Structure 1
Amino acid sequence: MTSGIAESSALRVRDFRLLLIGQGLSMVMYGAYLAVLSWYAYSLTGSPSSAGIVLGAAAVSQVTTLLLGGALADRWDRRSMIIVANSGRLLGVGTLAVISATGHTTLALLTVCVSFVSLCDGLFHPAFGGIVPATVPPDLVGSANAALSFVRSISAIIGPALGGAVYAAAGMQAVLGLTTAAFLVAVITAIALRPVVRGQKRAPSQPLRDIVEGARYVISVPLLASIPVAAVALMVSEGPTQTLLPRLVEEHFAGGAGTLSLLTTSYGAGAAAGALLYARLMPRRRRAVIVYTMWTIAHVFCAAMALTTWLPGAMAFAAVRGMCGGFGFAVWETLLMQVVAPDKLSRVYSVNLFGTKALMPIGFALGGWLGAYAPAAAVIAGGQITAAVLMGSLLFIRRIRTVQ
């Protein structure tokens, strides 16, 4: 069976189509929302630290509920959790849309609303990661993940481009209104899902006990030994990059939200190409080596993007970064779905996300602080090169290299 046939086979399954349509649309608009969020925060005060405050608060909020979300999703109905989480995200973004439309947005109100949305994100992601294998037969998990990775990557193209265009034409309130509508569609399609539960789900026990059990399981999986290193790498790279990218755009290209969306759209285009490449190749051997090699290269190209003052060159570097990152992420997601026990999958997702996001608030604060004393390009490039060294070091760990 070729990868193209495998992909179309997953799309013939009703529940997977519903999941892909509803959550895919919300991914697009959530991408639009996130693409202009840092710029919106920056525009309220004119200070890079404003973006850091909002993004940092969002990261802290998501980390707060991630482990609980994983424990609940492995014990309760993942479909119901997706419905509740998306309803909460709808409420948070919708409230912010009303505040923005009435012209009463302050940095404090923005931070509160964004934090509430991120609390719901922490409940959503473990449930979503765990429900994907329940929407298709076991032999189509790789096919489903390839399709999902492609849609996720496409949303990274369309979302930022749409966010920048709508923001420039109609303001933040329009972006927020469209995002609210997308979450409504996601709730409706989730209600229509009828996922198949594989494996015996035990009755809910103490959440703390379930979290500890999940953490112990993660420690026993060689593939996940990289979580602490990845956490530090993301702290020193993505935190400063997301915080200072609006200022970099202003300093290097004399641009605004539209220019920022060009860079994020280029990254999304590369990620889509990476997902397509994965769907075509679907590597079966030495997949852990592939993951960390691709992510190391992605950090190097992000540093190059920060250092260039030529916009087409920066867009090209962003695209290559996206391709490497997208290919590596597709391999990583498939590995998790295939090697983790079904009744522990959501907890593994939550521990993984917690590990990689726990230090991100420090990264946002670090970016805002360093940005006050050094050029944005130097801070971003320095962080990305440091992350490349950290990711590359994982290739020297034998228990990771042996993961197939």
Structure 2
Amino acid sequence: MTAVTARTSALRSRDFRLLLAGQSLSMVTYGAYLAVLSWYAYRLTGSPSASGLVLGAAAVSEVTTLLLGGALADRWDRRSMMILADTGRLVSVLALAVLTAAGHTDLAVLTVCASLVSLFDGLFYPAFGGMVPATVPAELIGSANAALGFVRSVSAVAGPALGGAVYASAGMAAVLGLTAAAFLVALGTAMALRSPPRTLPPAPSRPLRDIAEGARYVVSVPLLVSIPVAAVALLLSEGPTQTLLPRLVEEHFAGGAGTLSLLTTAYGAGAAAGALLYARLMPVRRRAVIVYVSWTTAHVLCAVMALTTWLPGAVALAAVRGLCGGFGFAVWETLLMHVVAPDKLSRVYSVNLFGTKALMPIGFAIGGWLGAHAPAATVIACGQLAGAALMGSLLLVRRIRTVH
């Protein structure tokens, strides 16, 4: 098999093509929905606290079901879990679209519907993560993750742009209708997938026991012990960065929303390039080392970006940071699918996501508090360097360095 064929051969799998097609569309439109959700909450009430209420309620809802979603996806049929979750998200978004078009949406309705969407997100993501390796042969998992990583990164740029354009021209109901249509397509593609063979014999599901078993498994596998370390690194680095980046743009570059969009677009484009770079290189040795070197470098680059006052340099640093992050993430996901036992993969995904999402609000709060007492550049740089130190410390653990 040639290098070019190996990089694209996952697309030859019927099930993976269906999975990618459905999720590509829903990722873009869901990004559009998330981009305007807080703005719509603000416009409904005129209060900035309304945005925090809606986003906070949605975040809590997703965290609530993540671990349960991982336990159920490992015990039940993952395809059925995806169908259930997509149905729930479709109904919730469609109901909100109808109410919004009819002029009956208030803050309470918006909060409830957004929370329901996120509740089903917590059930969807672990099932989806466990389903990916079931759609391609083991030797093509890397190719599949490269394609998904590219789509994810492009969606992170295209989604907000689409959301802003549709919202400005047609309003929130149109954004919601577009999102619902994409969930309908994703539901159809999920229903067309072939169910993989069961990895566990039929047995009554005991979610609490299964969650505890998954947590013990994470602690027992050398590579997976890094998950809580990475979660703390993200708390210290990304929480303050996301909170204070708008102020940094104003203070260092005398810019506004356009400058902020330029930096985030550069990061997204870099992440997409990182996924493509992984598709080209497909490393098979020392992958744990590659992951943590890539992520450590990304943290350092962000710290340097926060300290520079030259906008072209900051944009270039954001792009290279995205490349390192996107490349490391593609390697990480492939490594998980090769290292983790198939019957525990969804639970590992749920623990991974839970640690990140549950701690991130704390990171936002820390960033806001520190930003009131120190310059944004200082807070962001210190947080990113702390994240780099934690990520780099994982390279000192021999049991992690030897994971291939």
Structure 2 length normalisation: TM-score?
0.89
How does 1:4-403 map onto structure 2 within 5 Å? 4-38=4-38, 52-98=52-98, 101=101, 109-197=109-197, 199-249=199-249, 252-256=253-257, 258-403=258-403
1-structure distance, mates of 2:105, 2:263: 27
Over the aligned positions, Cα root-mean-square deviation in angstroms equals: 2.7
2-structure distance, mates of 1:96, 1:311: 40
2-structure distance, mates of 1:311, 1:98: 43
Contact 2:233-2:390 within 8 A present in 1 as well: yes
Q: 1:264 to 1:47 in 2, by over 3 A?
A: farther
Offset at residue 17 of structure 1 (A): 0.6
2-structure distance, mates of 1:45, 1:92: 21
- Structure 1: any 5+ residue segments left out of the alignment? none
Contact 1:56-1:362 within 8 A present in 2 as well: no
| Residue deviations 1:17-57 (CA, integer Å, cap 9, x gap) | 10000011111122223344455556677887665554443
2-structure distance, mates of 1:69, 1:399: 29
Q: 1:307 to 1:90 in 2, by over 3 A?
A: farther
1-structure distance, mates of 2:305, 2:42: 21
**Matched residue SS, 2:193:** coil
Offset at residue 373 of structure 1 (A): 4.7
2-structure distance, mates of 1:123, 1:396: 35
| Residue deviations 1:57-82 (CA, integer Å, cap 9, x gap) | 33322221111101100111111111
| Residue deviations 1:251-290 (CA, integer Å, cap 9, x gap) | 545423x554433322211111101111111111111111
1-structure distance, mates of 2:162, 2:273: 19
Offset at residue 148 of structure 1 (A): 1.9
Q: 1:355 to 1:58 in 2, by over 3 A?
A: same
Offset at residue 170 of structure 1 (A): 4.0
Report the count of equivalent residues.
Answer: 403
1-structure distance, mates of 2:310, 2:51: 25
- AA partner of residue 256 (structure 2): G
- Structure 2: any 5+ residue segments left out of the alignment? none
Offset at residue 346 of structure 1 (A): 0.8
- AA partner of residue 85 (structure 1): A
2-structure distance, mates of 1:347, 1:166: 37
- AA partner of residue 295 (structure 1): W
1-structure distance, mates of 2:276, 2:265: 17
Contact 1:15-1:194 within 8 A present in 2 as well: yes
Structure 1 stretch displaced more, 338-347 or 167-176: 167-176
Offset at residue 16 of structure 1 (A): 0.8
Structure 1 stretch displaced more, 370-379 or 359-368: 370-379
Offset at residue 363 of structure 1 (A): 1.7
Structure 1 length normalisation: TM-score?
0.89
